[in-house]
Structures are given as C-alpha cells and as structure tokens.
Structure 1
Amino acid sequence: MLIINMPDETSHSTDANSNSTEPAKSWEQRNPEIEREITIDEYQPTGTLTLTLLYFAIVVLMWIFMYFVEFAGNAPSIID
C-alpha cells in the first residue's frame, strides 16, 4: 500500500512577518481572488437527489390516497 503525506491547505505560510501565535490562514483566505471549479466527477448532488426522492414519495402517497378515496369501495364519480 502506498501512502503519500500531502501538506495540509492550512499549513503555515513562509512569511517572515507572520506571528507564530496567529492561526494559519486557509488557502481560500490567502487567495481570495481564485475560485475553485469542480469537475463533473467531483460533483455529488446528494441534496438534490434527496429532495427529488422526497417529492416523488409524497406524490406516490397522494396518488395512493386518491385511488382509495375515488375508486376503492366507491363508483367513479363521473359515472354516478
């Protein structure tokens, strides 16, 4: 097994003026003008999938409820 230790993004900068008691700045704080773009492989829309499945479940439950209200034990209301 190959294990590679990569430096952390919050590692200390090499500034001569930096105080050792100050917390290290993150990469985003050091480079505010650079935006990180993610690729389609990194994008995982779990929240969107969850909301879609929740919406689908609500629609299915409503459809089942309306089926029993309209047809189970009663004649269709249009034919009455």
Structure 2
Amino acid sequence: MSVAIPLYIFLFIYFVFLAVFLSFSLINFYHVIITASFTLVSFTMSFFILAITILTLYLTASLLSGVDWQTTVLVFDSSWFSGPSGPSF
C-alpha cells in the first residue's frame, strides 16, 4: 500500500500563504494611512518590503513555470517496513 499526493497540493498551500501575507500587508498599509505616519522611515520600509515581495513573487513564478504539477509525491509506502524476507509484523 502506498500513499501519494499530487504536487499541486503544495501549490494550493502556497496560495493560502500568499492570501494570508496579502491580508497582513493590506492591514499594514491601512495602519500607515489611518495613523498618518507618512515619514521617510515608514515610506522606506514599506517600499523595501513591497520591492522584496514583488521580487520574490517574480522569482517564484519564473522557477515554478516549468514544473509538472500532476507529478505525485510519495508520502508513505508499506514496503519501507518490510525486510528482506517479507513484512516484519
């Protein structure tokens, strides 16, 4: 018996992470606007975070463009627990 999951499950988990990250980013920018803390430091940090986020998304998209998402990942195989003479239990 073996258990395998398709690779696109990890892509869905990544999309959930991106949704959570986007919501926190929007809350962060909302707080900057609502508190009127438009200082050079807040602008610089917000710019760097946005730039690193865009760079990360671009590099992720370019690295994952050639992946076959239908490939399965083996999670469990009962033959891992069998010895040379057959099952050990």
Q: What TM-score, normalized by structure 1, do the two folds share?
A: 0.37
Structure with higher helix content: 2
Structure with higher strand content: 2
Q: What TM-score, normalized by structure 2, do the two folds share?
A: 0.34
Quick check: which has more Rg, 1 or 2? 1
